[in-house]
Chains A and B, each alone.
Chain A
Amino acid sequence: MTFLEIVFYVFSAVLVGSSLLVVTVRNPVRAALFLVLAFFSAACLWLTLEAEFLAITLVLVYVGAVMVLFLFVIMMLDIDIAQMRAGFANYLPLGLIVALIMAGELILVMLSGEFGDTQLPRPVGHDADYSNTEALGKVVYTDYVYTFELAAVILLVAIIAAISLTLRRRPETRYQAPEEQVKVRKEDRIRIVKMPPRPEEKP
C-alpha cells in the first residue's frame, strides 16, 4: 500500500464516518459540525487528485461561509431532544425504503460497466510545476466562458431576488442618516452666550 493509498483510506474513513454521524447524532449543532468535518475530508480527498483549487474553494465556500450561516440558524432553534427522538420509529420504515432505493440505484449504475478502469482510467500524475489552478482558469475563461458567465448572471439574479423578497419597507422605523450627521456644524447646534459673572450672594 503506497502512502497515497493510506491517505485516501484515512480520509475516506473519516468522510464516511462523519457522514453517518451527521444523520444519526441527536444534537443538531453536533450534526452540523460533523457535516463540516465531512466537507473538510472531501476537500482533502480532492487534494490527492491534484485539484487544489477546487479543494480549497470547497473549504472556503462550504466550511467558511455556508456552514457558519447554518450553525447560526441551528443554534437559535429551541430544540427539544426528547420530542425529536419520539418520531424516530415512525419515520424509520420510510427512511429505510428511500435509503435502500438510493443505494440500489447507485449499485446498478456502478455495475453497468460504464465506470470501470477502461472507461475512466486513473488520472496520470503531473510534474511538480504543473498548476491545476492555472489550467482550470484557462479552461473556464476560454472554452466554457459562456456557461461561466451564464452561471454568474443567474447568481446575480438570485441575489437580487433574495434581497427583494426579504426587503421590508418599514416606515415606522427611524434610521440615522450619517451623511446628514457629518454635515452638522457647531454653529447649528450650540449658541454661546456671554454673561457677566455675578457676585456671590451672601446667605
Chain B
Amino acid sequence: MIESLITLWSGLPLFLQLGLKIGAIILPLLGMVAYYTLAERKVIAYMHVRVGPNRVGPKGLLQPIADAVKLMFKEMIIPTHADRYLFLIAPVLALAPALGAWAVVPFTDTLVLADIDASLLYVLALTSMGVYGVVIAGWASNSKYAFLGAMRSAAQIVAYEIAMGFALVGVLMAAGSLNLREIVVAQSGGIHEWFLLPLFPLFLVYLISGVAETNRSPFDVAEGESEIVAGFHVDYSGMGFAVFFLAEYANMILISALTVIMFLGGWHAPLEIAPFIWIPGIFWFFGKLAAVAFLFLWFRATFPRYRYDQIMRLGWKVFIPVTLVWITVIGVAKFFSPIGHWFG
C-alpha cells in the first residue's frame, strides 16, 4: 500500500508535487487562521469573564465558518476617487508575504518545503514586504483616517524591523548559520541548549517587536479605533477586509513559528529523556507555536494601548541598544568564556 503510494507520488510531474506540498502547508494554515480568530474571541471573553461566541455549532465551534461566509457574500465597496487597482491589490500584498514565508519554515528535521541556505534572510525580507499592503491600502482609499493609519504603521514597522533584524543577528551568531533548519539543529539536547537562555534579552526583543510588527495590541495605533476609526482598512468591506484580517492572523502565526524556531528549540523536546521523546517532533513544534500564539491574545486582553511616542521611544532607544549590547556579549562569550558552547 505505502509502496504503491510512493511510486505514485514519484511518478507525478515536479510542478504537481510542489503544488501538492504547497497546498499541504497553505490549507492547514488557513484553517489555523480561522480557528485562531475563534480562539482569540474565546480567550479574551474568558479573561473578561464573558462567554464569547457560543451560538453557531457546538460551543460556537462553527463561528469562523459563519464569519467567512458572511464576509464573502457582503458587497465590496470601492470608495469614489479611490485608486481602484491599488485599492484591490493592497489586501493581496498584505497576505502574500505572510504565506510565502512558510516555504522555508522547518516543521521537523526533514519536513521543510525549501531547505534553502539563507532562509533566515528570506523570512526577514518577506516579512519586511508586508508593510506595502498597509501603506498602499491607506493611500489608495483616499481617506484621511486610512492615510494616518498607514503613516503610523509604516513608521512603526520600519522602526521595529531594525530591532528585529538585530535580534536575528544574535541568533545567527549563536547558531553559526542562516539556515532555519540548522538553527534548530544547533539547539538540540534539551531546554538548557535552547537559545532562550543565552539569548534571553534578544528573545524578549524579538517577541515584543513581533507584536509591534504585526500591529497587534498594545501596539495597534495603526488601527486605533478610538482615534482614527479603524486605521488603514477603514474603507474596506467584504472580502477586502477579510483578506486583511487573514493577513494579520497569518502574520501572528508566522511570528510565533519563527520565535519557536529561533529561541524555543523548534521540534526538539524540552528534555531528551523517556516520556518526552516518545512524542514526535512535529507535536512539540505546534505545541510551542500554540503557546506563543496564546501570548499574543493574552497581551491584547491585558495591556492598554501604548501612546505613539512611547512606541517609538521603546523601539529606538530601548530595543536597539539592548540588541547591540547583547550582540557584543555573544561575540565575546563565544571566544573567551567557559560557557562559550552555550552561545553556539
Measured CB to CB, the residues of A under 8 A from B are 27, 29-30, 33, 36, 52-53, 56-57, 59-60, 63-65, 68-69, 71-72, 75-76, 131-134, 178
Residues A63 and B122 in contact, CB atoms below 8 Å apart: no
Answer yes or no: B76 CB below 8 A from chain A CBs: no
Contact of A60 (CB < 8 Å), options: B83, B125, B155: B125
Query: What 0/1 pattern do residues 128 to 140 of B give for CB contact below 8 A with A?
Result: 1101100110010
Residues B117 and A52 in contact, CB atoms below 8 Å apart: yes
Query: What 0/1 pattern do residues 96 to 121 of B give for CB contact below 8 A with A?
Result: 00000000000000000000111001
Residues A29 and B139 in contact, CB atoms below 8 Å apart: yes
- Most chain B CB atoms below 10 A, which of A29, A33, A53, A56: A56
Q: A65-B128, A69-B158 are in contact. Are A75 and B135 (CB under 8 A)?
A: yes
Residues B121 and A53 in contact, CB atoms below 8 Å apart: yes
Contact of B147 (CB < 8 Å), options: A36, A75, A133: A75
Bound form: Cα–Cα A30–B87 in Å:
12
- Most chain B CB atoms below 10 A, which of A63, A65, A68: A68
Residues B125 and A72 in contact, CB atoms below 8 Å apart: no
Across the A-B interface, give the 8 residue pairs with the lowest CB-CB distance, nearest first: A64-B128, A60-B125, A59-B125, A56-B121, A75-B139, A56-B125, A133-B118, A131-B117
Residues A59 and B117 in contact, CB atoms below 8 Å apart: no
Residues B158 and A65 in contact, CB atoms below 8 Å apart: yes
Residues A64 and B121 in contact, CB atoms below 8 Å apart: no
Interface class of chain B by DSSP: helix
> On chain B, which size bracket covers the interface?
20 to 34
Measured CB to CB, the residues of B under 8 A from A are 83, 86, 116-118, 121-122, 124-125, 128-129, 131-132, 135-136, 139, 147, 150-151, 154-155, 157-158, 161, 178, 313
Q: A63-B129, A64-B161 are in contact. Are A56 and B122 (CB under 8 A)?
A: yes
Q: A29-B139, A131-B117 are in contact. Are A72 and B161 (CB under 8 A)?
A: no
Residues B121 and A60 in contact, CB atoms below 8 Å apart: yes
